[in-house]
Chains A and B, each alone.
Chain A
Amino acid sequence: AQSVTQLGSHVSVSEGALVLLRCNYSSSVPPYLFWYVQYPNQGLQLLLKYTSAATLVKGINGFEAEFKKSETSFHLTKPSAHMSDAAEYFCAVTGNTPLVFGKGTRLSVIA
């Protein structure tokens, strides 16, 4: 069985500040991990994906995530937040099952 926990349903940061969105997973098989972003009234857009090739994954829009097996984590970071980053972010895991999503974290960026 697989599951995802996203700590913090809402995160607020100032423009230019570090963005850190937390994701912890549980998986009985080697996982594939994803971060998706959803803007209002839109579908999900892939930010980045971990497939075991490298533990540090770089994605679009300056985001990156690091896979830490010992901590079962896949936290999403961006060095400097931009107003356009305001959206909902979903972490998801799959291995031998359909994608399992976390509850999502809404990111607000304050000018």
Chain B
Amino acid sequence: GAGVSQSPSNKVTEKGKDVELRCDPISGHTALYWYRQSLGQGLEFLIYFQGNSAPDKSGLPSDRFSAERTGGSVSTLTIQRTQQEDSAVYLCASSLGLKREGETQYFGPGTRLLVL
């Protein structure tokens, strides 16, 4: 597609349930990033993929959070046993992946997650 797409755009879930968030990067972009945007914390890095590998997952806040990427394209961020503090907007970005530093990242519209 023309840009990064994310689904669903909005997700409401009950505390304790698992959720899956999907990101479809720009075609040809090998690097993919997940960020979380919340009122109190601003924009936080979660995880970085190069191809199907995740060389940097330092931002994942707990072991309830995991992500995978298959076929070097679509990525899924999974949050298990959701808590109310997981409520946030989850943003995905992609870049060409030719170099680690300084590449422009292109962002999707985000998934707004609300945990009741």
Complex contacts, A34 vs chain B, CB 8 Å: 104
Convert A40-71 into 0s and 1s, putting 1 for each residue whose CB lies closer than 8 angstroms to a CB of B.
01111110010100000000000000000000
List CB contacts (< 8 Å) of B26-56 with chain A: 33, 35, 42-43, 45, 48, 56
Q: How far is the CB of A91 from chain B (nearest CB, A)?
A: 11
Complex contacts, B35 vs chain A, CB 8 Å: 99
The answer to whether B85 has its CB under 8 Å from any CB of chain A is: no
> Judging by beta carbons under 8 Å apart, are B42 and A101 in contact?
yes
The answer to whether B101 has its CB under 8 Å from any CB of chain A is: yes
Q: How far is the CB of B8 from chain A (nearest CB, A)?
A: 14
Interface size on B, residues (CB 8 A): 23
Complex contacts, B43 vs chain A, CB 8 Å: 90, 92, 101, 104
> Judging by beta carbons under 8 Å apart, are A99 and B45 in contact?
yes
> Judging by beta carbons under 8 Å apart, are A32 and B101 in contact?
yes
List CB contacts (< 8 Å) of A78-111 with chain B: 90, 92, 94-96, 98-104
> Judging by beta carbons under 8 Å apart, are A51 and B102 in contact?
yes
The answer to whether B77 has its CB under 8 Å from any CB of chain A is: no
Most buried by A among B33, B59, B104: B104
Interface range, A side = 20 to 34
> Judging by beta carbons under 8 Å apart, are B42 and A96 in contact?
no
> Judging by beta carbons under 8 Å apart, are B48 and A98 in contact?
yes
> Judging by beta carbons under 8 Å apart, are B104 and A49 in contact?
yes
Pick the residue among A32, A101, A103, A104 that contacts B102 (CB under 8 A). Answer: A32
> Judging by beta carbons under 8 Å apart, are A95 and B42 in contact?
no
Most buried by B among A41, A45, A98: A98
Complex A-B: 25 CB contacts under 8 Å? A32-B101, A34-B104, A41-B109, A41-B112, A42-B110, A43-B91, A43-B107, A44-B91, A44-B107, A45-B107, A46-B104, A46-B105, A46-B106, A49-B104, A92-B43, A94-B101, A94-B102, A96-B100, A98-B45, A98-B56, A99-B33, A99-B105, A102-B42, A103-B42, A104-B42
